[in-house]
């Protein structure tokens, strides 16, 4: 492939990686990962509320990885409040899993930035056949694909560990809350888009004519073995 086309592909991949790094850094700190409603089960059971009557006992909840906001409805008007995971909720949530999610977000930010630099270096420099060259491009981009782990672990924390209910019932003595509905908010889907963009970068690397590392060696070994059999 001509050098001009390679430069265009690598620069495009570099800009995508840079945008992924900046986006991941911003959305990690925003409280828009999940939004839902929680039911005040105690209040609803006291008055045997059904159908539209449940609306008086439905509060709102939204949070991210560090902080969030909730409005509790128990039939007497809303009680808005804000909360922080660190250090308030550490004793009530699966803290180890939550910290791992944040660490993987940091990994995505770090290696997306590294990948961006290496893409620009390969576009305008003359890298050796080492981590600065094709092997590095595949390595850093594949590490960034671990953004899928952020999505999987966060979804498991929400669905399996019932994170919304743990937050809603934090320091509640008189009322019991349960999740009524919940859906992933904009930050979650932006992180999914980051995963897709890194997958697109792998395609751009291949379009630039760079084979996956060790693929060439494996083909040489196979051809050598066939030659041995012939003789």
CB 44 within 8 A of CB 57: yes
Q: Give CA–CA dist 178/200, Å, rounded.
A: 40
Alpha-carbon Rg for the chain, nearest whole angstrom, is 25
Residue 224 located in a structural domain: no
| For range 123-142, the mean pLDDT | 70
Residue 165 lies in a domain: yes
**DSSP character for 1?**
-
The answer to whether residue 198 is domain-embedded is yes
Name the β-bridge partners of 62: 35, 69
Q: CA–CA separation, 39 vs 24, rounded Å?
A: 32
Looking at residue 172, its pLDDT comes to 83
For residue 100, the enclosing domain spans 4-209
Domains in the chain: how many in total?
1
User: For the residues 86-111, what does the mean pLDDT come to?
Assistant: 92
Q: How many CB atoms lie within 10 A of CB 28?
A: 21
pLDDT of residue 8: 86
- CATH number assigned to the domain comprising residue 82: 1.20.140
Q: What pLDDT, on the 0 to 100 scale, is given for residue 219?
A: 45
Alpha helices in 41-185 (DSSP H): 41-46, 95-124, 134-144, 147-159, 163-168
pLDDT band at 226 (very low <50, low <70, confident <90, very high): very low
pLDDT, average across residues 40-45: 85
**The model's pTM:** 0.83
Whether the predicted pLDDT of 229 surpasses 70: no
Band of residue 129 on the pLDDT scale cut at 50, 70, 90: low
Query: Which band of pLDDT confidence, cut at 50, 70 and 90, is reported for residue 202?
Result: confident
Question: With 50 as the cut, is the pLDDT of residue 225 above it?
Answer: no
In a domain, 214, yes or no: no
Answer yes or no: is pLDDT of 105 > 90: yes
């Amino acid at each position: 492939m001509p050098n001009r086309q390679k430069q265009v592909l690598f620069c495009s991949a570099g800009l995508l990686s840079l945008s992924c790094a900046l986006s991941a850094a911003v959305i990690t700190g925003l409280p828009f990962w999940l939004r839902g409603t929680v039911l005040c089960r105690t209040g609803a059971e006291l008055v045997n509320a059904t159908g539209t009557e449940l609306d008086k006992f439905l509060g709102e909840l939204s949070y991210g990885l560090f902080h969030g906001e909730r409005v509790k409805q128990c039939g007497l008007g809303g009680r808005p409040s804000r909360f922080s995971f660190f250090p308030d909720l550490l004793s009530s949530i699966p803290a180890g899993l939550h910290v791992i999610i944040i660490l993987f977000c940091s990994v995505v930010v770090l290696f997306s930035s590294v990948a961006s630099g290496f893409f620009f270096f390969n576009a305008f420099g003359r890298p050796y056949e080492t981590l600065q060259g094709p092997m590095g491009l595949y390595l850093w981009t594949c590490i960034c694909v671990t953004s899928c782990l952020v999505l999987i672990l966060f979804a498991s924390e929400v669905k399996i560990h019932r994170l919304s209910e743990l937050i809603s019932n934090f320091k509640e003595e008189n009322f019991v809350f349960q999740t009524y509905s919940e859906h992933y908010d904009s930050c979650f889907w932006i992180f999914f888009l980051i995963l897709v963009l890194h997958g697109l970068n792998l395609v751009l690397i291949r379009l630039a004519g760079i084979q996956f590392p060790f693929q060439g060696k494996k083909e040489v070994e196979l051809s050598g073995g066939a030659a041995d059999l012939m003789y």
